[in-house]
C-alpha cells in the first residue's frame, strides 16, 4: 500500500495542472445532468415488484383501480344548501373537470339517488339545476340520508362538503400532479370567500416533495455559509475555507449527476444524500490539510510535505471512506428499494469525496505553493483546543481505569432505554403537526372521512359467489367489525349498495337498512343495476360477481396501530370466512408495512456493517484487542442514542432509523483517523505514551474541528418544518457529541487499559 501511494504521490505532484484541469472539465460536464435531477414519491415503488405487499395492491388495482389517485377538496359553509352557494360549487367543479389529466370530478352534484319507477330502477341526480330553488330542504335531507354520500360528499349536519378529482392513472406522476395542483389552486383562488382544504395522497406526495426540495436547497446553502464562517473563524485563511468547500461542492455535484445518469431520482431518503455528503465530506480534507500543515511546521519542503500528507493519511483516509461506504453500502441488502438506492448512492458519494480529495487537494497545494493552509495565529480557539487536548492526555493516563469503567457503566445504564423503543410511523409523520398539510387533512377527519384508504378484496372463488345471502351477511358483519375500531370512520361495500337497493325496490318487504335474504332476488337486483348503465357497481364488485371490494377510510393512526388493527381483522376473518380468500391492502397498508421493512432492514444492515468492519480491523491489525478497542467507541454512540430515544419516547421509524447508519459512518471515520495516526507515530519509534499524546493532540484537534463542522451542518436541520428532519438534526448532533467523547476519552483509556501489542506488519 505504501509503495502504491508513493507512486501516486509522485504522479500528482508532477502533474498538478493536468489533474486540476481534468477535474474542472468534469465539473462543467456534470452541471447539466445534475440540473436535470427528478423527484418523486410513490409508496408502491418502495417495494420490489415481486413483494407480496405490492402483489396485493396490484390485485386491487387490476380489479377496481388504484386508491392513490384522488385529490380531495373540502370546505365548510353554514349556508351550503342555498341556491347561490350550490351554484358556486357547480362552477368550481365544472372548471376542475377541464384540468388536463383529470378523468373525473365527483361532488354532491354528481351524487345520485335510486328511484323506483313502476318496478324500473333509475338513478337521478339529487341536485337538478332547473328545480333546485323549489326543494332545497328536501334535497338536503335526501343527500344526508344517502349512505354513499354522507361522510363522503356531505357531513351529517349538511354544512361541510367535498369534491374529488380523479387523476388519470397513466399520468399520475410528479410533473402531472404539479400541473393539476397549480391549475386547481388557480381555480380556487377565484373564490376567496371560501376556506378550501386540500388533501389526498397525490396532493400530499407533491407538497411533501416540493417542501423537501426547498429544504434540501436551503440547508445546503445555509450549512455551507455556516461552515464557511466557522472555517474562517478558525483559520482566517482563504484557502482554508475555499479548498474544503470546493471539495464537498464538487462531491455533491458529481453524486447528483451520477444519480441522474443512472436513471435515479430524488425521493424521501435519497434527498438527504446532499446534506450528508456536505457535512461528512469536509472531514477528509480537514484531516489531510492538518497533516500538511504539521509537516511544513516541522521544516519539510513544500513538495515533500504534500508527499508526506499522502503517504501518512492517504491510506487512512481511504480506510475511513471505505468503512463509511461499507456502512451505507450494506443497505443494498434491504428489501426496500429507495433504501437500496440511498445506500448505494451515499456510499458512492463518500468514495467520490475521497477521490476528489486525494486528487484535487495535493494538485491545488502544488499549483498554489501555499506554505500553510491554516493560519494557526488566526484563531485563539485553534490553540485553546490543542492545550485542552494535552490536559486530556494527562487525565487519560492517570485515570484510564475509572474512565473505562464509568463509560461502560453509563453506556449500559442509558442503553437499557432501548427496551422501550417502539417501531411506529405515520403517513404524515414527517410533517409538523401545525403545518397546513396536517390541518387540511384533519378537516376531513373531523367533518367527513379521513383521507387514508384501507381496502379489502374478498374473493368467493366462484362466479356469482357474492349473491349468496349467507356470504352477504358475513360481509355485513365484517364491515361492522371494521367500524368498531375508533380509527376507522367510514366503510362501504356491495352490502351498502344492496341495502339501499332493497329499500327502494322492495319497500313492502324490506325493513329499513336490512339485507335481502333471497339469492334470486339479489340476482334480480344485480340485473337491474346492469341495465341502468351506472358505474356504481364497478366500484364494489368485478364483472363475474366473484370478487367484492370493501373500502374503508381510516385516520393516520400510525403503523403500530394499523398493524394491530390488521392482525385483529385477520383473526376475525379466520373465524368467519373459511371458504373465501380475503386480501387486506390499500395505500395505508403499503405505508404501515413499509415502516417495519425499513426499520428491520436498517437494523440488519448495521449489523452487517459491524461484521464487515470487524473483519477489516482484524485483517489490518491482526490483533484481537485492537478489534475490541476499535469497535467499542463506535458501538457506544449508537447504544447511547438508542437508549435516549427509548427514554424520551421517540419511535423507531424510517426517518429516525436511518440516523444510526449516518451516526455509524461518522463515528467510524474519527476512530480510524485516530488509530491510523497512532500506528504512524509508533512506526516512527515513539513510545506508547508519547504516541498516544501526539495522536490525541494532532488528530484530536482535527476530530474536534470536523465534529464542529458536522454539528453546524446537521444542527441547521433542527429548524426544519419536517418533524423527521428536526429529529435527525437533534439525534445526529447528539451522536456526534458522543462519538467525540468516545474517540478522545474512551479510546485512549482503552489503549492504556488493554495495552495491545501491535505487530510491525500492522503498522506498515
- Cell, residue 606: 448495521
Residues 562 and 606 in one domain: no
Q: What is the pLDDT of residue 506?
A: 81
Q: Which residues pair with 162 in a beta bridge?
A: 74
In a domain, 93, yes or no: yes
Residues 605 and 652 in one domain: yes
Residues 741 and 634 in one domain: yes
Backbone angles phi, psi at 154, to 5 degrees: -145, 150
> Nearest CA to 317 among 694, 744, 702?
702
Residue 659 has pLDDT above 80, yes or no: no
Residue 219 has pLDDT above 60, yes or no: yes
Q: What is the pLDDT of residue 195?
A: 94
Q: What is the pLDDT of residue 48?
A: 58
Residues 243 and 288 in one domain: yes
Distance CA 90, CA 714 (A): 49
Q: What is the pLDDT of residue 212?
A: 72
The domain total for the chain is 3
Query: Residue 469 — very low, low, confident or very high, per pLDDT cuts 50/70/90?
Result: very high
Query: Residue 21 — very low, low, confident or very high, per pLDDT cuts 50/70/90?
Result: very high
In a domain, 430, yes or no: no
Residues 83 and 30 in one domain: no
Residue 507 has pLDDT above 50, yes or no: yes
Percent of the residues in the chain that have a pLDDT greater than 70, as a whole number: 93
- Residue 670 CB-half CA count within 13 A: 34
Residue 136 has pLDDT above 80, yes or no: yes
Residues 668 and 561 in one domain: no
In a domain, 705, yes or no: yes
Q: What is the pLDDT of residue 288?
A: 84
- SS3 (DSSP) at 74: strand
- Cell, residue 566: 390488521
pLDDT for 220-236, tens place per residue? 788 888 888 888 877 77
C-beta separation of 715 from 733 below 8 A? yes
Q: Which residues pair with 164 in a beta bridge?
A: 72, 106
Mean pLDDT of 246-259: 91
* Mean pLDDT taken over the chain: 84
163-177, 266-280, 705-719: segment of lowest average pLDDT? 266-280
pLDDT for 366-413, tens place per residue? 998 887 777 655 557 767 887 888 888 888 888 888 998 999 999 999
Residues 705 and 631 in one domain: yes
Give the residue ranges of DSSP H helices in 532-623.
Answer: 559-576, 587-621
In a domain, 83, yes or no: yes
- Cell, residue 464: 356469482
Please identify, among 188, 205, 222, the residue that sits at the C-terminal boundary of a domain: 205
Please identify, among 561, 585, 609, the residue that sits at the C-terminal boundary of a domain: 585
pLDDT for 159-189, tens place per residue? 999 999 999 988 888 788 899 999 999 999 9
- In the DSSP assignment, the letter for residue 159 is S
pLDDT for 290-331, tens place per residue? 888 888 888 888 888 888 888 877 877 888 788 788 878 877
Residue 454 has pLDDT above 70, yes or no: yes
Residues 579 and 630 in one domain: no
Greater confidence (178 vs 726) lies with 178
In a domain, 498, yes or no: yes
Q: What is the pLDDT of residue 45?
A: 59
In a domain, 426, yes or no: no
Backbone angles phi, psi at 452, to 5 degrees: -110, 110
Please identify, among 556, 585, 614, the residue that sits at the C-terminal boundary of a domain: 585
Percent of the residues in the chain that have a pLDDT greater than 90, as a whole number: 26
Give the domain extent around 249: 2-44+236-420+592-763
CATH number at residue 736: 1.20.1640.10
Query: Residue 51 — very low, low, confident or very high, per pLDDT cuts 50/70/90?
Result: low
In a domain, 60, yes or no: no
Residues 285 and 332 in one domain: yes
Residues 286 and 414 in one domain: yes
503-507, 736-740, 747-751: segment of lowest average pLDDT? 503-507
Greater confidence (534 vs 491) lies with 491
Walk across the sheet containing 160-167 and list its strands: 102-106, 160-167, 70-76, 197-199
Residues 541 and 653 in one domain: no
Mean pLDDT of 197-201: 90
The angle at the Cα of 490, spanning 486 to 492, to the nearest 5 degrees, equals 140
Distance CA 389, CA 544 (A): 78
C-beta separation of 724 from 429 below 8 A? yes
Residues 516 and 627 in one domain: no
In a domain, 56, yes or no: no
CATH number at residue 116: 3.30.70.100
Distance CA 188, CA 192 (A): 7
CA distances from 607 to 280, 327, 611, 660, 670 (A): 22, 9, 6, 11, 20
C-beta separation of 588 from 562 below 8 A? yes
Amino acid at each position: 500500500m505504501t509503495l502504491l501511494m508513493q507512486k501516486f504521490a509522485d504522479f500528482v505532484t508532477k502533474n498538478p495542472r493536468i489533474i486540476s484541469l481534468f477535474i474542472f472539465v468534469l465539473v462543467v460536464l456534470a452541471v447539466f445532468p445534475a440540473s436535470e435531477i427528478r423527484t418523486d414519491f410513490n409508496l408502491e415503488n418502495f417495494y420490489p415488484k415481486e413483494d407480496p405487499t405490492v402483489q396485493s395492491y396490484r390485485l386491487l388495482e387490476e380489479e377496481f383501480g388504484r386508491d392513490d389517485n384522488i385529490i380531495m377538496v373540502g370546505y365548510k359553509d353554514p349556508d351550503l344548501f342555498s341556491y347561490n352557494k350550490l351554484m358556486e360549487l357547480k362552477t368550481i367543479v365544472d372548471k376542475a373537470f377541464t384540468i388536463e389529466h383529470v378523468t373525473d370530478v365527483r361532488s354532491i352534484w354528481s351524487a345520485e339517488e335510486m328511484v323506483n319507477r313502476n318496478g324500473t330502477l333509475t338513478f337521478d341526480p339529487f341536485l337538478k339545476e332547473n328545480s333546485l330553488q323549489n326543494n332545497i330542504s328536501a334535497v338536503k335531507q335526501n343527500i344526508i340520508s344517502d349512505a354513499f354520500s354522507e361522510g363522503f360528499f356531505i357531513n351529517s349536519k349538511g354544512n361541510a362538503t367535498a369534491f374529488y378529482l380523479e387523476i388519470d392513472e397513466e399520468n399520475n406522476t410528479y410533473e402531472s400532479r404539479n400541473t393539476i395542483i397549480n391549475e386547481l389552486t388557480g381555480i380556487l383562488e377565484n373564490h376567496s370567500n371560501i376556506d378550501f382544504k386540500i388533501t389526498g395522497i397525490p396532493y400530499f406526495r407533491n407538497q411533501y416533495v416540493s417542501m423537501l426540495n426547498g429544504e434540501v436547497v436551503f440547508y445546503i446553502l445555509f450549512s455551507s455559509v455556516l461552515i464557511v464562517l466557522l472555517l474562517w473563524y478558525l483559520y482566517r485563511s482563504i484557502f482554508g475555507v475555499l479548498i474544503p468547500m470546493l471539495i464537498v461542492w464538487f462531491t455533491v455535484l458529481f453524486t447528483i449527476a451520477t444519480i441522474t445518469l443512472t436513471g435515479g431520482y430524488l425521493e424521501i431518503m435519497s434527498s438527504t444524500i446532499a446534506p450528508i455528503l456536505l457535512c461528512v465530506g469536509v472531514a477528509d480534507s480537514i484531516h489531510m490539510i492538518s497533516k500538511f500543515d504539521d509537516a511544513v511546521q516541522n521544516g519539510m519542503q513544500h513538495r515533500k510535505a504534500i508527499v508526506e500528507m499522502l503517504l501518512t493519511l492517504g491510506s487512512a483516509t481511504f480506510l475511513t471512506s471505505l468503512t463509511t461506504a461499507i456502512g451505507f453500502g450494506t443497505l443494498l441488502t434491504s428489501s426496500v428499494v429507495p433504501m437500496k438506492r440511498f445506500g448505494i448512492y451515499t456510499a458512492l458519494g463518500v468514495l467520490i469525496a475521497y477521490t476528489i480529495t486525494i486528487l484535487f487537494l495535493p494538485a491545488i497545494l502544488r499549483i498554489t505553493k501555499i506554505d500553510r493552509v491554516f493560519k494557526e495565529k488566526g484563531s485563539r480557539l485553534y490553540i485553546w483546543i490543542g492545550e485542552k487536548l494535552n490536559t486530556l492526555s494527562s487525565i487519560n493516563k492517570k485515570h484510564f481505569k475509572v474512565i473505562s469503567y464509568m463509560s461502560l457503566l453509563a453506556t449500559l445504564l442509558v442503553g437499557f432505554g432501548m427496551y422501550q423503543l417502539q417501531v411506529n410511523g405515520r403517513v404524515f409523520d414527517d410533517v409538523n403537526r401545525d403545518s397546513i398539510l396536517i390541518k387540511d387533512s384533519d378537516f376531513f377527519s373531523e367533518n367527513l372521512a379521513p383521507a387514508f384508504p384501507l381496502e379489502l378484496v374478498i374473493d368467493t372463488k366462484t362466479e356469482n359467489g357474492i349473491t349468496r345471502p349467507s356470504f352477504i351477511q358475513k360481509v355485513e358483519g365484517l364491515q361492522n367489525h371494521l367500524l368498531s375500531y375508533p380509527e376507522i370512520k367510514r366503510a362501504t361495500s356491495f352490502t351498502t349498495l344492496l341495502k339501499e337497493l332493497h329499500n327502494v325496490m322492495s319497500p313492502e318487504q324490506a325493513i329499513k337498512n336490512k339485507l335481502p335474504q333471497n339469492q334470486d332476488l339479489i340476482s334480480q337486483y344485480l340485473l337491474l343495476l346492469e341495465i341502468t348503465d351506472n358505474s356504481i357497481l364497478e366500484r364494489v364488485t368485478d364483472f363475474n360477481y366473484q370478487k367484492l371490494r370493501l373500502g374503508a377510510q381510516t385516520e393516520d393512526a400510525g403503523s403500530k396501530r394499523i398493524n394491530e388493527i390488521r392482525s385483529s381483522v385477520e383473526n376475525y376473518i379466520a373465524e368467519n370466512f373459511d371458504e373465501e380468500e380475503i386480501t387486506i391492502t390499500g395505500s395505508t397498508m403499503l405505508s404501515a408495512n413499509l415502516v417495519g421493512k425499513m426499520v428491520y432492514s436498517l437494523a440488519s444492515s448495521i449489523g452487517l456493517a459491524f461484521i464487515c468492519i470487524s473483519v477489516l480491523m482484524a485483517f489490518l491489525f491482526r490483533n484481537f484487542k485492537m478489534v475490541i478497542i476499535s469497535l467499542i467507541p463506535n458501538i457506544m454512540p449508537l447504544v447511547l442514542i438508542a437508549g435516549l430515544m427509548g427514554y424520551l419516547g421517540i419511535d423507531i421509524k424510517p426517518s429516525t432509523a436511518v440516523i444510526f447508519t449516518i451516526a455509524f459512518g461518522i463515528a467510524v471515520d474519527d476512530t480510524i483517523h485516530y488509530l491510523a495516526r497512532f500506528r504512524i507515530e509508533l512506526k516512527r519509534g515513539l513510545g506508547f505514551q508519547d504516541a498516544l499524546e501526539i495522536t490525541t493532540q494532532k488528530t484530536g484537534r482535527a476530530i474536534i474541528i470536523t465534529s464542529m463542522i458536522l454539528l453546524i451542518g446537521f444542527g441547521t436541520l433542527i429548524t426544519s418544518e419536517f418533524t423527521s428532519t428536526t429529529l435527525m438534526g437533534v439525534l445526529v448532533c447528539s451522536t456526534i457529541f458522543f462519538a467525540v467523547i468516545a474517540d478522545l476519552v474512551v479510546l485512549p483509556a482503552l489503549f492504556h487499559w488493554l495495552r495491545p501489542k501491535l505487530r510491525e506488519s500492522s503498522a506498515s
